[in-house]
């Protein structure tokens, strides 16, 4: 199948947005491992439980980032659709966690990333069919 300019543009956009998405999420996971207080609400003190939680976050986020970057590098559009959608769902879920933390930054940041992610996946899917 020959890639047309609109398909190429959609693939590039989905690749960039997804890469930024998973790298930002990985940054937060790494921050939680290195300095747990950075991801906790201001009034909370880091504990062993918060360190374990950070390990779980890193365990889901870092492999997703690595696999997604490989998929982008290999230009595997069908895999990018799945991983991009998954990355969007994760960001949307993170915004729900932000609601429970009553932290606007943890609500609107992930929600905005999820919106961009879903838009990119939508365009890529539409132009691939």
The contacts of residue 59 (CB under 8 Å, 6+ apart) are none
**What are the pLDDT digits (tens) for 7-28?**
899 999 999 999 999 999 999 8
Backbone angles phi, psi at 74, to 5 degrees: -85, 0
* Average pLDDT over every residue of 106-115: 96
> 104-128 and 77-101 helices cross at what angle (nearest 10)?
160
Neighbours of 55 (CB within 10 A): 12
Burial class for 62, CB neighbours closer than 10 Å (0-12, 13-18, 19+): middle
**What are the pLDDT digits (tens) for 28-57?**
899 989 988 777 777 788 888 888 888 998
Q: Does the predicted model carry a pTM greater than 0.75?
A: yes
Give CA–CA dist 20/17, Å, rounded: 5
């Amino acid at each position: 199948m020959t890639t047309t300019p609109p398909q190429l543009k959609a693939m590039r956009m989905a690749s960039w947005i997804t890469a930024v998405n998973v790298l930002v999420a990985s940054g937060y996971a790494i921050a939680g491992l290195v300095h747990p207080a950075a991801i906790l609400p201001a009034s909370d003190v880091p504990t062993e439980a918060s360190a374990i939680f950070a390990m779980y976050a890193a365990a889901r986020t870092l492999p997703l980032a690595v696999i997604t970057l490989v998929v982008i590098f290999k230009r595997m559009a069908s895999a990018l659709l799945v991983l991009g959608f998954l990355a969007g769902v994760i960001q949307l879920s993170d915004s729900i966690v932000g609601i429970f933390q009553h932290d606007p930054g943890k609500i609107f940041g992930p929600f905005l990333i999820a919106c961009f992610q879903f838009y990119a996946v939508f365009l890529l899917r539409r132009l691939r069919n």
